[in-house]
Every structure is written in C-alpha cells, then in structure tokens.
A and B are shown apart, each in its own frame.
Chain A
Amino acid sequence: MIGAAFRALVSHWRRRRLQLAALITGLALATALWTGVQAINAEARASYARAAGEVQVAALPQITRAGGVTMEDFYTLRAGGWLVTPVVEGRVQIGDRSLRLLGLDPLTAPAALRPAAMTPETLSRLPVANGTATPATAPRYAAPDIAAEIGAIAAPGLPPGLLVTEVTAAAEMLGRPGRLSRLTLLPEQPLRQAALADLGPYSLSPAAESTDLGRLTESFHLNLTAFGFLAFAVGLFVVHGTIGLAFEERRPMIRTLRALGLPLRLLAALLAAELTVLALIGGGIGVVLGGWIAAQLLPDVASSLRGLYGAEVSGSLTIRPVWWLAGLGMALGGTWVAGAGALLQLARLPLLAPARPRAWARAGRRLARLGALAGLVLLAVAALALGVAPGLGAGLLWGFAGLAALLLGAAALLPFLLSRALALGARLARRPLAQWAWADTGQQLPGLSLALMALMLALAANIGVSTMVGSFRQTFLGWLDQRLAADLYVIARDDAEAERLEAWLEPRVEAVLPVWRIAATAEGAAVSLYGFRDDPIYRQSWPLLSALPEVWTRAARGEGVLINEQLARRLDKAPGASLSLPGWETRVLGVYSDYGNPNGQVMMALDRLVTLYPGADRRRFGLRLAPGTAPALRKALTETFDLPPGVVTDQATQKAAARGVFERTFLVTGALNALTLAVAGFAMLTALTTLSGMRLPQLAPVWAMGMGRRQLAALEVLRALGLAALTFCMALPVGLALAWALLAVINVQAFGWRLPMFLYPADLARLFLWAMLAAGLAATLPALRLARRPVADLLRVFAGER
C-alpha cells in the first residue's frame, strides 16, 4: 500500500521533469548562495582567530619613552622588574612580495604571540647574544603557502602575508639595528618592582583601543550574511512556488488515493518524506555549488578585507564539515517551511473539493491587508533603527536590523500596493478587454506575490548596493586625486639613506615633501602621527572636510594639528577642540577625509614631530616636480642610489593600486547581486508556470469570446512585464533608502567615514531593463506553452461546466 502510494506520488515528477528541475534548482541555488557566503565568512573568521593572539598582545599596555625604545631600554626595564617583551614591526620586500615583518623575542614573548614553531627550544638557532644577530642566521617563520617561496619555516598558525623572526634580526632587516617598535608590558608583573621613574624617562601608555579585527570586519560579514540570507529567502520563494504547483497538480491523484482508502496521516507522511528526499538532493547540490562559489569569490573577499581593514585572510578555502551540515540543515528547514503550507492545506482539504482560485484570491486580499499592516509596522521600526539608534550610540547591529526591517516591511507592503495599483487601473480602463486584463491580473496577484516580493527584494538590494558603490567610487577617486598630489613617492631603506636622498633631491625637484611618521596613542586611540612640511600643494589639494581659517599656516607654525575623519568621529573632535598627544597638549585645526584607512591619523608640522618624537620613521618622501620630469628623475634616482624596485613609485602607480583595491572590494557584492537577481527571475518563472497551469478556466472563456491563443499569450507576457515594472517602481524608493542607510548609517558605524550620496540614472535604467528581461524571460515559457496549447484543452474547460 505504502509502496504503491509512494510510487503514484513520485510518478508525478517523472511526468513533470521541468517542475522537478525547478524545485531542485531553486533549492540548490538558495543553498548554494547561503553556503557560499557562510564558507567565505568562516574562512575569514578562521584567519582572524589566527591573528587574534597577535591582536591581543597589541592591545596590551606599552612602556614608551620620548624618541622611541631600544634593546637597551628592554634590559633596563627588565632589570628593574618590569616584565616587558620587545616587538619590532615593519614591512619588508622579499622577491616580489611585500610582507609585514614581526620581530619577537622567543624567550620573553608570551606563547599567544609567538608562532607555535618559535619556542625557546629554537634558541639554538637564534642570535640571542648582543651583536650576533644577523638577518641571515635567524630563522624566519611564515604561513605554509608562502614559506617555501621566501625561504621561511612553515608555521601553520600564522596569518598570510606575515613574516616572523627574532626581534634584533627584524630590526636589522628594517635597517634600524637595536631600535624597537614597542615594549609590550606582559599581563603578569612581579609583586616587587622598581618605580618606573627611577629607571629612566619612561611612561606607561595604556592599551591601545581594541582594534579587534573580528569586530572591525563584522560589518563586512554581516553584509555578506545579509546577502546570503536574502538569496536564500528568494530561493525559498522558488521552492514554495514549485511545491505549491506540485500539490495543485496532484490534487486529483491525492483525491483518488484518499478515495481508495489511504489514511490522511500516511499520505502526509509520504509527502513529507518526498520533500525531505528532494531537500537533501537539492541541498547537497547546493552545498557543492556553494563551495565552488566561495572558492571563486574568496580571493576577492580576501583582498577586500585587506584593503579595508588590513586584515589578512587566506585566499584558499578549507572544506569544513560544518558547512555541509549547516547547508543541508538550511535546505531541509527551508523546504519544510515552504511545504508546510501545502501540507496544511492537504490536511484541511475536503475529500472531494474542486480547485477554487477565486476564493483563494479573496483570501489573498485579506492577507494582503494584513501584510500591509505588518509592512507599515516594520517600516516604522526601520525608520527608528536607522534614524534614531545611531544618534544614541547604538551600533552596527541596529543599522543592519533597520535594513532588514526596511526590506521586509517593503516586501510585506508590496501585494497591497500592487493590488491598489491594479484596482486603480481597472477603474480607469474603458475597454472590456482592458478591464478584464486588470481584474484578471488582480486575481493572479496572490499566487504571484511571493515571486514579486522576491523580485522586489532583489531589485531593491541591487539599487541600494549599486548606488552605494557608485557613490563610494566617485568620492574615493576624487579624493585619491587630491590626496596623491605629489608626483613621485620615495621610501629609503634607512634613515642615513633618507638623508642622502633628500640632499640629492633638494636641488632637482620643486619640493621635497617629507612624510615622516610614528605610531602613538592619542586619548586612548591608536594613531599614526605624520609630519608635513608646509607647501602650496597641501593648500591646493588636501581634502579638508572642515577647518579653522588659515589652517595650513597655523598648522605649519605648530599651533595645532589636522586629524582624519575617522579619528574625529572616534574621539568626537571638531576643529577648535583640544587634543592630547603624548607630550603635547594641542588643538585640532582641521579635519580631512581619509577613505580606505581604518586607523586614526594626526598631521603636524615636521619640526614639531621631530622635536617631540625623535624616533619617527624618516624614510618617506613625496616629490613635487616640474611637469614631465618624473620619468627622468625616477631613472636618475634609481641609478644614482642603486635602489631596488618598489622604492620609488609614481602617482599613477599608487592611484592604480588604490583603485585596484577599491574595485576588488566591491566585486563580491556585485557578483552576489547578480546571482540574487537571477534567483529572483527564476522565482518568477516557477510562479508563472504554476499559475499558467491553474489559469486555464479563466482564459478559456476569453478565448471562447474570440481572442486568439497568441494574443492571450502576448497578453500574459505583457502582464508579467507590467507587474515587474510596477514592482520596480516600488523597489526604487526602497533601494534608494537602502543606499542612504548604507552610506550614512552603516558606513559611519563600520568604517568611520560618511560618504555623500550620488544618483546614477543610467545604472537604474539598466537595472530596469534587466528586471524587464528577467520577467519577460520568465513569462515567455508559460506563454509559449499557452500559445501552443491544443484547442481541445481550452474546450475541455467547458466540458466540466456544471
């Protein structure tokens, strides 16, 4: 009995292969996007976890002294009972790789900081004696994928792009022997220690504000997760549509089975089992597909995270069993949710009830009104979360909650608004055919509304994200032009070379613009302090957001400093506010925009920097040149000083590099956008196919009154296009609201800068065409089937007339 009933139920899929394909594809796509995004997030988080030890230690307090700390300070402090560990940080070029260099003391660095392979036992290979350190003899450690290439020991725990070595060897590699980047105070200190002031002019600077990569990049991952969820929801619309169709079509079979005595419970169980099997198949395919998508997108995500946050994420994917489980779980859960409605209907179905589409439509209208109410509530929540919460200091999560409420609310409102629009159309229509067409569309709405909601969500997301990316690009490129105003940039290998370079350059260029810097802590925030030499170039092109009058003259006289927007927002400083820097109580004179950089910056007059912080890194210069002289000077500079490649870069290269980072940053978002739109199109296709099967009784009378099948089919396509166009019109304000929220709320929370919003009508028009194309394609298949339908089918509708 069970076997026979199951075979009967399953025989449906054999006859309706397209439906089966739609169901599996919908499930697979939904699961794939979800799993893909989860895989990317998991990989990135695993990378942060690896870097976490390092971050924790960076967040420990430090002992500083004016002019910077050396190994001698390390010994002095240790002898006084202050347990510090020396750290050297910098960048090195090995082959064509630019790597972050971290120098550690394997004897005193806490285990959390060291690569697992760098233990005190490796001492025998370390130059621990003073004066015996050479970069050549100290072992180096790097992530396994690059270790062999750069001649390092593979250390599996290390984040990519990081090279670890012994501290004095690292200082030598950076051309500043004995000098340290910092002395980190260990968490455990002895009960008795000398007073810090007795040991020398040291000061204890508290832990830098936590720069937890996990928290910093959370917005990026939330963003991806939101996209994944959206795609999954859109995919579920497909599944829901297909399952609904399959139930509808099998209704006569179900009636027969019930009439033959199959208990309702058993029937429901069989159908649930069928759904489970289908979900597992679709989910399985989806997980594999998701892995593939993640592998394709991960390198871009990795470069985005590097570009935005300086977070190193491995570009290769590790298969984790948890995705399989999560992906299959999502597929199963989603299918059950999508099938629950159909199963419930089955349970309530009177044994011999015929299909009653009109009654559905009336019920649908009630639902639409309920949805509209829910939608309004959600929109109110969105307005509150986006408009008020940030002002109260509520975080990123509120921003995203607001976005979710905005999208869901708009989707819930959609059926109601569409039905109002259609009713309006029907009232304005004069010709009978037009009146019928409007009314008929209204009747189709409940069946289509889920697919249309999916389309609207996809369109709104597209509009929002493309507006955000466009605005970002326009602002960023404009800013880049201002910010990279010098013609050539030079980084010397050490201070002595820097001095020789400067002396050589002085008579040959219009201006040498030193870009000297040092890391410090200002009012609890980690900042880079930059020194600048007064030059017209700053007045002409530095991208100021707000400033006191005569800002450059006053800053050059040492009356105050300029800070970047991130720092201004973090410390809540406007021009005129006071600012305490290590050893200098000063004033903020101006705030400049500084996109693409997560850290705080302070600019001060060069002589101030040198007097206050003699340990500043003095190796960087910008050069202002007479037009056209850059290539010749670059050549002369490289040859005279025998400079390795990469030491001198021109403006164009810098800009191209920055642009590259930027473009890659949003490639992922773009790809997910396109995929979501594709899934939405697919949802429409399945919904229309479902409806076209059920609509024969409505179409047959119109056909009988003299309208041709082709005409009817054309009308069907037109109707789909019209609904899509209406949906687009409603997605437009939602999408723009989304863009505004991303630019003005999410960005400020996530990155610390606010961006102006620009509109791109051409992009919107293009998206409109895509939406029309998707809807048109989705409607074409059912329309073609209608046009080719045997006349007998249409006639048969009347045969069953009571």
Chain B
Amino acid sequence: MSADRSFPRPGRPTRRALLASGLGLLLAQRLQAQGFAGLGQGGTGFALPDPGYRLRFPRDHAAHPGFRIEWWYLTANLTDPQGRDWGAQWTLFRSALDPEEPRAQAWMGHAALASPEGHLSAERLARPGQAGVRLTEAPTRLEARIDEWRLTGDPETRMRVSAGGSDFAFDLGLTATGPLVLQGDAGYSVKSPGGQASHYYSQPFLKAAGEVQTGGGALPVTGIAWLDREWSSEPLAADQSGWDWFSLSLDSGAKLMGFVLRGASRFTAATWIAPDGRATPLPDGAFRAEPLDWAKVAGHRLPLRWRVRLADPRPEVPALDLEVRAIRPDAWMPMLFPYWEGPVRVSGSAGGIGYLEMTGYE
C-alpha cells in the first residue's frame, strides 16, 4: 500500500514527468477506484505546491524534503575545438519515502554525455549517506551530490558540475550570464487543466567551459548550459501518459521553455525569456509542437524532428515557426525509468540550440 512512496516504475515518464510517475498515477487511480477520492490530495501526507508561496534565494536552491519529489537538472550544449557538437546532462532526483520520517529519502542520479561517437550514460541510486544537497549562505554555496557526482557553487554566479560512468566523464565550469527565471506564475507551474502543479525555476543563462572525456584523453569544450529546479508532490492527471519538453536557446540570446503533456487532450505551457531575463509565462495552447518525423530508437518509436510554433498576442512574445531536430538520434537513456534526452538544433524563423526530453513513448 505504500507503493506511492517509491520511485516510479520503469516505462513511465521521468524528470518533470516524475510528477506523472507511474506509481503516483497508479495510486491516484486506485484511490479513485476505491472511493477514497474524497480524501483529496493531502491524503499522501506530503507538502503540496502553494500558489501563494514566494520563492526566495538562496534558500530554495536547497532541498524541500517535505515534498515527495524534487530535482536539480542541468543540460549543456557544448562544442569541441574541431567544432563538433557535444551534450552533457547531470540530474539528481530526490524521492521522499515517508511523510512521517523526513530522513527517509532515496536519491537517483542520471548522467549522460552525447559525444560524436555515441550517447553514453550512467545511473546511480543512493541512500542519504551517499547523496544529498547542502546549502550554505553568505557566501552562497550549493552542494548537490550523489556518490562522486557533484554540482557545486552559486547558481547566480559560478558553479562546477562533474559526473561520469565507466566510459565517459565530464567536468565543467559554469558562469551565470543572466538572472534566475521563475517559471509559470512566479514559480508556480501548472501541469494540467485539473490544476496539478509544481514549484519550478530555472537558470537558463549559463556559460560552460571545461572538459569531456570518453575512452581516450580529455578534450576541452565550451558552450552554454541550463539548470532547472522543480519540486512537487502531486501526480499528473490520470490520463496523461507522457511528456515532450523543450529548452531552447536562440541565437538572439532569448530562451524558450515549453512542454506538451500528452493525454486525452494536450496541455501545453511555456515561458518566453527575453535576452535580459524578463520572463513571460504563456497559457495553454500558445506553445504548439507537432512531430514531423518518427524514427525507431532502442526499440521505441520516437519523433526526432518537430515543428514548434509560438503564437501569443502580447507584443513582447514573437511569433515563431521553428524546426527542432535531434542532433543525435541515439540519445536514449536506458535507465530504471527509460526516456530520450539529448541536444537539438533549432532552425526556421530563428536559429539556436537546446535540449529535448521525450517520455512515455512505448
């Protein structure tokens, strides 16, 4: 009966989609089936996202153990001296196991390196002694760690990120070139027409420089990076099966975050971020993404080319018609909960690069 406190089951979406975690979903269905729907969302005993909550930093860089799930999610688009594209992903998931026992936390880490030779990835599971997030203030220093993988520093100034597996490693210095961005309504990000939500902010303005290593020696790389922070306790709506999430950095210096929640109906949300960091949250439907090409990757049929459009009457939001294409089709993450995550290139009415995550494709 306590299955709700565990990691989602394989085959279900992850990351933001951890919100939609398979077991969370199952639990929600079971509660309804058993007539316990009246218990409401507070029935799990975990803290719930609050639209009135005001994010404050550096406090909110740290963990929120009262919430069931949380992540520190960094992606980087990199280039080596020969001009070849690389991509790096560093993710730490926290999963609270017991609302009555805040110490009972399980941690999961995913790291990946999209290299010209192939997509390399590694996964770690950990108990609290092995992993965790520490924050000291004045000066701000965040330390998020699982085993030897680390993300340290201040998201508003300088950070360092390192991780690796048996066949790859990366170690990058990150410098902030812009402010933190609150997603949704001042950091309260709605995930379905039913009102499920999370707390969500990003640091999309990061310059990256460091080194990557595959089998041979280390190689210097430079590029840009994007940090996402999100926490919640709520499952998605019962009919939502997967997620397509885009984080795009345009050549103009503007950024676009947008996602499509696939279900009986589609729910989209997006944030237009001007080059100076001013964010405009966009309502359901303003952001549209349609698959153009499908391909079979690791036994799953996935859309690897998209048409992404932005249409909003407000003057600060440009009308966009973009083609988003996976740089490497093989960016499959063969984890406990598998998904596709990799670097993309943007063309059309604006050029750019970014990251795409696709979950829930059978």
Q: Does B166 contact A (CB under 8 A)?
A: yes
Number of A interface residues in the complex (CB < 8 A): 31
Q: Is the CB of B7 within 8 A of A120?
A: yes
Which of A83, A129, A130, A188 is within 8 Å of B147, CB to CB? Answer: A83
Q: Does B66 contact A (CB under 8 A)?
A: no
Which of B97, B103, B104, B166 is within 8 Å of A189, CB to CB? Answer: B166
Q: Which of A49-57, A191-199, A416-424, A533-541 contacts B (4 or more CB under 8 A)?
A: A191-199
Which of B2, B4, B106, B169 is within 8 Å of A128, CB to CB? Answer: B106
CA distance A130 to B213 in the complex (A): 35
CA distance A354 to B158 in the complex (A): 110
Q: Which of B126-134, B255-263, B296-304 contacts A (4 or more CB under 8 A)?
A: B126-134
Q: Is the CB of A129 within 8 A of B6?
A: no
Complex interface: chain A residues within 8 A of B125 (CB): 107-108, 120
CA distance A79 to B143 in the complex (A): 13
- The answer to whether residues A190 and B101 also contact, given A79-B130, A120-B7 and a CB cut-off of 8 A, is no
Q: Which of A70-78, A472-480, A515-523 contacts B (4 or more CB under 8 A)?
A: A70-78
Q: Is the CB of A191 within 8 A of B6?
A: no
Q: Is the CB of B9 within 8 A of A130?
A: no
- The answer to whether residues A80 and B97 also contact, given A107-B127, A108-B125, A120-B336 and a CB cut-off of 8 A, is no
In the complex formed, the residue of A with least CB distance to B150 is A79
Q: Is the CB of A130 within 8 A of B165?
A: no
- The answer to whether residues A191 and B128 also contact, given A81-B148, A124-B3, A124-B5 and a CB cut-off of 8 A, is no
A78-B148, A123-B6, A192-B164 known; 6 new pairs, CB 8 Å cut-off, are A107-B125, A120-B125, A123-B5, A128-B106, A132-B101, A191-B166
Q: In the complex, which residues 86-127 of chain A have their Cβ closer than 8 Å to any Cβ of chain B?
A: 105, 107-108, 120-125, 127
Complex interface: chain B residues within 8 A of A71 (CB): 129
Q: Does A131 contact B (CB under 8 A)?
A: yes
CA distance A122 to B6 in the complex (A): 7
Which of A79, A121, A190, A194 is within 8 Å of B164, CB to CB? Answer: A190
- The answer to whether residues A75 and B129 also contact, given A128-B104, A128-B105 and a CB cut-off of 8 A, is yes
Most central of B5, B103, B147, B166 by chain A CB within 10 Å? B147
Complex interface: chain B residues within 8 A of A131 (CB): 103
CA distance A691 to B3 in the complex (A): 77
CA distance A108 to B168 in the complex (A): 20
- The main secondary structure of chain A at its interface with chain B is loop
Q: Is the CB of A107 within 8 A of B6?
A: no
26 CB < 8 A contacts A-B: A74-B130, A75-B130, A78-B126, A79-B145, A79-B147, A81-B147, A81-B148, A83-B147, A107-B125, A120-B6, A120-B336, A121-B7, A123-B5, A123-B6, A123-B7, A124-B3, A124-B97, A128-B97, A129-B104, A129-B128, A130-B129, A189-B166, A190-B122, A191-B213, A192-B169, A194-B148
In the complex formed, the residue of A with least CB distance to B213 is A191
- The main secondary structure of chain B at its interface with chain A is loop
B27 to chain A, nearest CB (A): 11
Q: Is the CB of A128 within 8 A of B127?
A: yes
B96 to chain A, nearest CB (A): 10
Complex interface: chain A residues within 8 A of B336 (CB): 120
CA distance A189 to B164 in the complex (A): 10
CA distance A797 to B103 in the complex (A): 102
Q: Is the CB of B106 within 8 A of A123?
A: yes
Q: Is the CB of B103 within 8 A of A129?
A: yes
Q: Is the CB of B148 within 8 A of A129?
A: no
Q: Does B80 contact A (CB under 8 A)?
A: no
In the complex formed, the residue of B with least CB distance to A82 is B148
Contact with A along B152-179 (1 / 0, CB 8 A): 0000000000001111110000000000
The chain A residues found within 8 Å of chain B, CB to CB, are: 71-72, 74-75, 78-81, 83, 105, 107-108, 120-125, 127-132, 188-194
Complex interface: chain A residues within 8 A of B5 (CB): 123-124
Shortest 8 CB-CB distances between A and B: which pairs?
A: A81-B148, A129-B103, A124-B5, A107-B125, A124-B6, A128-B127, A75-B129, A129-B104
Which of B4, B103, B147, B164 is within 8 Å of A191, CB to CB? Answer: B164
The chain B residues found within 8 Å of chain A, CB to CB, are: 2-7, 9, 23, 97-98, 101, 103-106, 122, 125-130, 145, 147-148, 164-169, 213, 336
Complex interface: chain B residues within 8 A of A192 (CB): 148, 164, 169, 213
Complex interface: chain A residues within 8 A of B105 (CB): 128-129
CA distance A190 to B121 in the complex (A): 11
CA distance A72 to B127 in the complex (A): 12
In the complex formed, the residue of B with least CB distance to A120 is B125
CA distance A71 to B98 in the complex (A): 22
CA distance A193 to B103 in the complex (A): 28
- The answer to whether residues A107 and B106 also contact, given A79-B147, A120-B7 and a CB cut-off of 8 A, is yes
- The answer to whether residues A78 and B104 also contact, given A120-B7, A120-B125, A130-B129 and a CB cut-off of 8 A, is no
In the complex formed, the residue of A with least CB distance to B122 is A190
B261 to chain A, nearest CB (A): 24
B210 to chain A, nearest CB (A): 13
Complex interface: chain A residues within 8 A of B168 (CB): 191
CA distance A789 to B98 in the complex (A): 92
CA distance A83 to B166 in the complex (A): 11
Complex interface: chain A residues within 8 A of B101 (CB): 129, 132
B143 to chain A, nearest CB (A): 11
Most central of A125, A130, A191, A194 by chain B CB within 10 Å? A191
Complex interface: chain B residues within 8 A of A74 (CB): 129-130
- The answer to whether residues A190 and B148 also contact, given A79-B130, A123-B97, A128-B105 and a CB cut-off of 8 A, is yes
Complex interface: chain A residues within 8 A of B104 (CB): 127-129, 132
CA distance A192 to B129 in the complex (A): 21
Most central of B5, B126, B148, B165 by chain A CB within 10 Å? B148
CA distance A79 to B213 in the complex (A): 20
Complex interface: chain A residues within 8 A of B127 (CB): 105, 107, 128-130
Complex interface: chain B residues within 8 A of A124 (CB): 2-6, 97-98
Most central of A120, A122, A192 by chain B CB within 10 Å? A192
Most central of A79, A107, A128, A131 by chain B CB within 10 Å? A128
CA distance A120 to B130 in the complex (A): 15
